[in-house]
Structure 1
Amino acid sequence: MKQITATGTTVEEAVSQALVELQTSEDRIEIEVIDEGKKGLFGLFGTKPAIVKATLKPDPVDEAIAFLKKVTKQMDVDITVEVKRDGKNVELQLSGDKIAILIGKRGQTLNALQYLAQLVANRYANQYINIMIDAENYRQKRKDTLEQLAGRLAEKAMRTGREVTLEPMPSYERKIIHAALSEYEKVQTASKGTDPNRHIVIVPRRR
């Protein structure tokens, strides 16, 4: 946590100086006024500068990245992280050697890293931040696979007239299935169970 002491003829000027030195905005720092200063006689004699201590708040995304780099290094994987921010939504794109280790079977390792990184980020955030982690475009490939799976299983439900139960999935994957089948008039989808075993059921509509 970075701290500096800054001075100025007024508290406001001292704060401005602190922002310049820290190269940040006022919402990213905590200010402690050490001395409000004093105007001297005729502005010359007995003047005391205002003194503030400025503490740079941790950046939630930077903390999440630092956590990821620490964990992946322990997994013997060196990563580079590309950040894309869109308001409260943040995408972290991972790249590096042996990146497949971080994806895991059906993205389970990637999902676990994403969950933990989100916990870390929101520990430091003033408002909720949604962290999404991707590697080697896995998320898009998985989305394509799920949409194809949804179509096949919907056809099965319509053909047999019986419900089809999918394996448990994280919420964002269930949303992909729901969205993919939302325009199918002959089936409907529902999520059942509780996490981590919450799953989708595809139900044929009765005529």
Structure 2
Amino acid sequence: SATGPTLGEGATDARNFVERIAAAIGASVTVSAAERAEIVTVTCAGEDLGLLIGKHGQTIDAIQYLANAVARAEGGEHEIVVDAAGYRARRNASLEAVANRSARLAVTTRNAVELDPMTPVERKIVHESLKDDPEVETQSEGSEPNRYVVVLPRNSAG
């Protein structure tokens, strides 16, 4: 995509990496990249986005993980985000909604609320979305790949 500013080497490498992975799993997609501050966003569009995203985002999360691992191994300093059809924004909104419902439930019942197991990225979104809520606190429990967030009412002893 010759529109916009010239992509740096890291963004070009990330785009090429995701294109190769998509082709290898048989997903017919168009891949573009954008660079802002320390983040390279690689965006996929096309017919086979379900194949690329995978069940509960497992495939796209794995691709993102590998893209970051390869970039780091090659001395890259950008964080790479891989997205498809606004999946990340929808997933974040969904996780924030779950976090907020769980917080209200924890406060109402005065009991801890355990969420389903999540990836480290998803847990971080939940922790971040509740960190300024004075009525609850969050912690991660369990071990990978089954770590999950617990939402606790504050001052539960009182």
1:94 is matched by which residue type in structure 2? C
Is the 8 Å Cα contact of residues 83 and 91 (structure 1) preserved in structure 2? yes
Could you tell me which residue of structure 2 aligns to residue 173 of structure 1? 122
* TM-fit CA distance, 1:152: 1.3
Could you tell me which residue of structure 1 aligns to residue 24 of structure 2? 74
- Which string of whole-angstrom CA distances, capped at 9 and with x for unpartnered residues, describes residues 41-76 of structure 1? xxxxxxxxxxxxxxxxxx333333222222211222
When the two structures are aligned, how many residues end up with a matched partner?
149
* TM-fit CA distance, 1:121: 1.8
- % identical aligned pairs: 36
Whole-angstrom CA distance in 2 between matches of 1:75 and 1:129? 25
2:139 is matched by which residue type in structure 1? A
* TM-fit CA distance, 1:164: 1.0
Could you tell me which residue of structure 1 aligns to residue 64 of structure 2? 114
Larger C-alpha radius of gyration, 1 or 2?
1
Query: Which aligned pairs between 1:143-154 and structure 2 lie closer than 5 A?
Result: 143-154=92-103
Whole-angstrom CA distance in 2 between matches of 1:152 and 1:72? 36
Q: Please, what TM-score do these two structures have when normalized by structure 1?
A: 0.65
Whole-angstrom CA distance in 2 between matches of 1:173 and 1:112? 13
The worse-fitting range, judged by mean Cα deviation, of 184-193 and 98-107 is: 184-193
- The structure showing larger relative contact order (alpha-carbon pairs under 8 Å, at least 6 residues apart) is 2
* TM-fit CA distance, 1:141: 0.5
Could you tell me which residue of structure 2 aligns to residue 164 of structure 1? 113
Is the 8 Å Cα contact of residues 182 and 188 (structure 1) preserved in structure 2? yes
Whole-angstrom CA distance in 1 between matches of 2:125 and 2:16? 30
Whole-angstrom CA distance in 1 between matches of 2:52 and 2:39? 21
Question: Which structure features the higher share of helix residues?
Answer: 2
Picking from 123, 142, 160, the partner of 2:91 is 142
Whole-angstrom CA distance in 2 between matches of 1:62 and 1:184? 40
1:181 is matched by which residue type in structure 2? L
Unpaired stretches in structure 2, ≥5 consecutive residues: 1-7
Whole-angstrom CA distance in 1 between matches of 2:139 and 2:107? 16
Unpaired stretches in structure 1, ≥5 consecutive residues: 1-27, 29-58
* TM-fit CA distance, 1:172: 2.6
Whole-angstrom CA distance in 2 between matches of 1:102 and 1:141? 16
Picking from 50, 53, 56, the partner of 1:100 is 50
Whole-angstrom CA distance in 1 between matches of 2:124 and 2:100? 14
Could you tell me which residue of structure 2 aligns to residue 199 of structure 1? 148
Whole-angstrom CA distance in 2 between matches of 1:128 and 1:191? 27
Query: Which aligned pairs between 1:8-157 and structure 2 lie closer than 5 A?
Result: 59-125=9-75, 127-157=76-106
